[in-house]
A and B are shown apart, each in its own frame.
Chain A
């Protein structure tokens, strides 16, 4: 036995510390595993949503026929008294599965005919499963998906094709043209008529303002003032009447244009027959995307998959957000996050500079620092309530009183909006920025400061030329952390301006182009809305994963950008460390 052999476990434990290695390493692995599992779940479910599934055709023993996409397969326990009613073959199978029966969740679509989006089908009900090649899936503007067999292609009610091949040929020939005409119509509705409505609203407000001024003048009892106000009001009224005439003409013009377009594209239609024999004519312009799911090659499927991703990222939502894209939400999230950074970084940095460079370190600063750190622990919903109460209802309402009086009682700034939401989040993430900046300033070597003073620099010159550039990478770290925190936050946004569906985006082509008072869509809120507020939850849940994946990707992208900038700054300002 060696002199240095382990005498007892206690000494070994203390002196070698290897159990500690296992403990610390194990802790890290547990944390990584949980993060990895979460990411894996999101990625697996999120990536699969857009892959085109085959169309399955079930012939049931009852004689019913169902057709659609199988979205889920599970086993469930069948009650004994039900099992006894089944055929022997089914009983044997169930027994083999220890009393559990397989069932399929079938997305049957055709909501206007069936009043159901999904249906459970148990295996014992099924007589025959087929995968018909002719069957088509339609993604439509309204009513969700449609599953059926194309029978006739019609132009202006006249049948021009009846066999599959020529129907598809006609479809390919006319579909993109029809969709183009339709999108032109939407453009006119949204942009041109939207602009016109804004103008009308503006003129109406002018008139109302003149009226308010007149009222004020009358209240003041000043004859001269009443006279001028009266004149102004009369002029405004005249202007308004002229404008109304003009706008009516303009509006009629647009309506005529739309009618022309409609006439052009509404004449194309396809008659479909569903699996249970019902007939349904579907206008070509309603079809967003269609394909014969069982006749697709791998390449076709891939194209559809990526086409759906593109649509998801660039289009507006349809069908209570469960179909279509999330572009407004992406846009809202990014704009809100950047606005938030714009507010929080300067504020946080200024506060940290004061605390580190100017204030004498002492009790008050210590208390202040503890208070700021504790701010990070306040529930975010409390910030939301504060944002709504202080920003929207107090400051916003005052702004409305001062500048948007004519619009009252409709609030402009006096309600939730992207400005208030980003200010609220800025407040929420302020501690992160302050703490990170303080640490970064702390890490600036004193020898640099002294060197600068020794060159004759003042305090501010030293801070601006030496301390801030050197601390910049650390400040960027704070910025990155705050951005991640802010982009993922939902609760305060629900109170301060995020909405399920925003008709207008915060940046558009209508003067003054940036509309900070508008409510906005946000991916985080969108996820909540899809997952918990949706009518059609079976269709919405896959979208929840996809949207989550998208949100994570956006946060990662924003971070990667910031990290890239930080590394460049680090190279420039820190270099080798002395």
Chain B
């Protein structure tokens, strides 16, 4: 990456290069002129990004480029930090998620999230899976049991844990824990699943299983995944967005991005020349 490019970015901002094929997709999440500040420091610059429904969208880019920040803006997890300020808007199903009337619990139930490290809660496997329902006030045992089984089956964990649902979730291996977290994320029937580098703490076999799972999730959910691993992005995603220094540089069909990137910087990054 040349110095000129950095200067240009800082001075003039950057117009994102889009793939025209995006126009044919149904858009579920529409990020519009989104800017985010940590105190004085601006972390995201004028992001415009339509995310298609029922597809897997990958966010790639070097460390600190803002991809996790963007992901966490989609379920408003950044609200927890004291000095965050945003401009612009994000629409879900055509409605602003930053509107004052939005109930955060409802929003987050529609946006299941899987974190970087597996973060099972200090409770049993069963309680972990139905946690989102329990805090929403669902008490009926039969419903909880049904949801638990369905989510675990979907996450491909049912056969491994069905005999020890009462056991502590910490007894599971790292990969199992991550699939448990995915089961937890899909338990309340969300529309979107946000994944923040879900495989970075896992071994190759566990990673493989999670990737399989992501591919099967596509049938039912819209998935947005942040990843450092470009092969992974190429394997699991339909669309890929390349971010750099808080800007969205290029966004389009995954095959295009990896085979014939339109922007030189994207090419530099995916061929490993920087990053």
Query: How far, in Å, is B178 (CB) from chain A's closest CB?
Result: 11
Q: Taking the complex as formed, is A448 at the interface, i.e. its CB lies under 8 A from any CB of chain B? A: yes
| A466 contact from B109, B111, B122, Cβ within 8 A | B122
Contact B121 A450 (CB under 8 A): no
Residue among B77, B82, B123, B201 making CB contact with A454, cutoff 8 Å: B77
Give the chain A neighbours of B42 by CB distance below 8 A: none
Chain A proximity of B78: nearest CB distance (Å): 10
User: Is the pair B135, A447 in contact by a Cβ cutoff of 8 Å?
Assistant: no
Question: In A446-496, which residues have CB < 8 Å from any B CB?
Answer: 447-458, 461, 465-466, 469-470
Q: Once the chains bind, are A456 and B106 in contact (CB under 8 Å)?
A: yes
A458 to B108, CA, bound (A): 11
Among B118, B135, B177, B181, the residue within 8 A (CB) of A456 is B135
| Chain B stretch 114-143: residues in CB contact (< 8 A) with chain A | 115-119, 121-123, 131-132, 135-136
Q: Are B116 and A447 in contact (CB under 8 A)?
A: yes
Q: Are A465 and B108 in contact (CB under 8 A)?
A: no
- For window 135-191 of B, CB contacts with A under 8 Å fall at 135-136, 168-171, 174, 177, 181, 184-185, 188
Judge whether A360 and B82 touch: CB under 8 Å.
yes
Specify which of A453, A456, A571 is in contact with B136 (CB 8 Å cutoff): A456
The 10 closest A-B pairs by CB, nearest first: A575-B170, A454-B113, A573-B122, A456-B105, A455-B132, A456-B108, A451-B119, A447-B119, A456-B109, A457-B135
Closest Cβ of chain A to B117, distance in Å, is 6
Is B3 positioned at the interface, with any CB of A under 8 Å from its CB? no
* Chain A neighbourhood of B205, CB < 8 A: none
B122: chain A residues at CB < 8 Å are: 448, 466, 469-470, 572-575
Q: How far is the CA of A575 from the CA of B77 in the complex (A)?
A: 27
- Counting CB contacts under 8 A, is B86 at the interface? no
Closest A-chain residue to B131, C-beta based? A455
- Assess whether B75 is interfacial by the CB under 8 Å rule: yes
Nearest to A466 among chain B residues (CB) is B121
- Is residue A27 contacting chain B, with contact meaning CB distance below 8 A? no
B168, A572: Cβ atoms under 8 Å?
yes
- Which residues of A are found within 8 Å of B201, using beta-carbon distances? 578
Write the nearest CB–CB distance from A355 to chain B, whole angstroms.
15
Q: Which residue of chain A has its CB nearest to the CB of B79?
A: A453
**Chain A residue with Cβ nearest B169:** A575
With a cutoff of 8 Å between Cβ atoms, the chain A residues found around residue B181 in the complex are: 451
- A-side residues, CB < 8 A to B, are 360, 445, 447-458, 461, 465-466, 469-470, 571-576, 578
Using CB atoms, name the residue of chain A closest to B121: A466
Known contacts A448-B122, A457-B105, then 18 further A-B pairs from the complex at CB < 8 Å, ordered by chain A residue:
A447-B116, A447-B117, A447-B119, A451-B115, A452-B131, A454-B77, A454-B185, A456-B107, A456-B135, A461-B135, A465-B121, A465-B123, A469-B123, A572-B168, A574-B122, A575-B170, A578-B174, A578-B177
CA distance A453 to B132 in the complex (A): 10
Closest Cβ of chain B: how far from A240's Cβ, in Å? Answer: 57
- Once A451-B181, A453-B80 are accepted as A-B contacts, the answer to whether A575 and B168 lie under 8 Å apart by CB is yes
Residues of B within 8 A of A455 (CB): 108-109, 131-132, 135, 184-185, 188
- The docked-state distance in angstroms from the alpha carbon of A447 to that of B121 is 10
Chain B residue nearest to A571 (CB atoms) is: B168
Per-position 1/0 for B96-110, Cβ under 8 A of A: 000000001111110
Instruction: Show 6 A/B contacts (Cβ-Cβ < 8 Å), sorted by A.
Output: A451-B115, A451-B121, A454-B112, A455-B132, A456-B106, A461-B135
Question: A578: which of B108, B117, B168 is its contact (CB, 8 Å)?
Answer: B117
A360: B residues at CB distance < 8 A: 82
Q: How far, in angstroms, from A576 to B109 measured CA to CA in the complex?
A: 28
Inter-subunit contact B108/A453 (CB<8 Å): yes
Query: How far is A453 from B185 in the complex, measured between Cα atoms in Å?
Result: 12
| Across-interface contacts of B111 in A (CB, < 8 A) | 454
Give the total number of A-B pairs whose CB atoms are below 8 A apart. 84
- Complex Cα gap A461–B105 (Å): 11
Which residue on B lies nearest to A462, using beta carbons?
B135
Complex: A449 Cα to B113 Cα, angstroms: 13
Give the one of A447, A457, A572 with max B CB within 10 A: A457
Chain B residues, Cβ within 8 Å of A457: 105, 131-132, 135
Total residues of chain B contacting the partner, CB 8 A = 36
B80 contact set on A, CB distance < 8 A: 449-450, 453
Distance (Å) between the CB of A275 and the closest chain B CB? 72
Residue among A448, A453, A571, A578 making CB contact with B121, cutoff 8 Å: A448
Whole-angstrom distance between the Cβ of B166 and the nearest chain A Cβ = 12
Contacts of B168 in A (CB 8 A): 571-572, 575
A456 neighbours in B (Cβ, 8 Å): 104-109, 132, 135-136, 188
Nearest CB in chain B: distance from A378 CB, A: 34
Which residues of chain B are within 8 angstroms of A458 by Cβ–Cβ distance? 105, 135
Report the separation of the CA atoms of residues A455 and B132 in the bound assembly, to the nearest whole angstrom: 5
- B32-64 with Cβ < 8 A to chain A: none
Q: Is the CB of A454 within 8 A of B108?
A: yes
A575 CB, nearest partner CB in chain B, Å: 3
Interfacial chain B residues near A448, Cβ < 8 Å: 119, 121-122
Nearest CB in chain B to that of A452: its residue: B121
CB contacts (< 8 Å) of A574 on chain B: these are 122, 170
CA distance A571 to B169 in the complex (A): 11
Write out the residue numbers on chain B whose beta carbons fall within 8 Å of the beta carbon of A445.
Answer: 119
Query: In the complex, what residue of chain B is closest to A449 when comparing beta carbons?
Result: B80
Could you tell me the distance in whole angstroms from the C-beta of A451 to the nearest C-beta in chain B?
Answer: 4
A450/B105 in contact, CB under 8 A = no
Check B104–A447 contact: CB distance below 8 A: no
CB-based contact A450/B77 at 8 Å: yes
A416 to B242, CA, bound (A): 73
Residue of B nearest to A572 (CB): B168
Closest to B132 in A: A455
Centre residue among A447, A454, A458, A572 by max chain B CB count within 10 A: A454
**Shortest Cβ gap from A134 to chain B (Å):** 69
> In the assembled complex, how far is the CB of residue A450 from the closest CB belonging to chain B, in whole angstroms?
6
Q: How far is it, in angstroms, between the C-alpha of A211 and the C-alpha of B136 when the chains are bound? A: 60
| Nearest-Cβ distance from residue B80 to partner chain A, whole angstroms | 6
Which residues of chain A come closer than 8 Å to B75, judged between CB atoms?
A: 454
A180 vs B82: C-alpha distance when bound (angstroms) = 74
Assembly CA distance A470 to B168 (angstroms): 13
Residue of B nearest to A576 (CB): B170
Closest to A447 in B: B119
Which of A447, A449, A450, A455 has the most C-beta atoms of chain B within 10 angstroms of its own C-beta? A455
Q: Are A465 and B170 in contact (CB under 8 A)?
A: no
Cα of A360 to Cα of B83 in the assembled complex, Å: 11
CA distance A29 to B80 in the complex (A): 48
Residues of B near A452 (CB, < 8 A) are 121, 131
CB–CB B170/A450 < 8 A: no
CA distance A574 to B177 in the complex (A): 14
Q: Which residues of A contact B109 (CB under 8 A)?
A: 455-456
Query: Complex formed: what's the CA distance from A578 to B170 in Å?
Result: 10
Residue numbers in A under 8 Å from B169 (CB-CB): 575
Q: How far is the CA of A448 from the CA of B118 in the complex (A)?
A: 9
In the complex the two chains form, what is the Cα distance from A575 to B124 in whole Å? 12
Residues of A with C-beta under 8 A to B104: 456
* A575–B171 touching, CB < 8 Å: yes
Output the least CB separation between A499 and chain B (Å): 45
* CB neighbours of A572 from chain B (8 A): 122, 168
For the complex formed, measure the closest distance between the CB of B5 and the CB atoms of chain A, giving whole angstroms: 34
Cα distance A447–B105 in the bound complex, in angstroms: 18
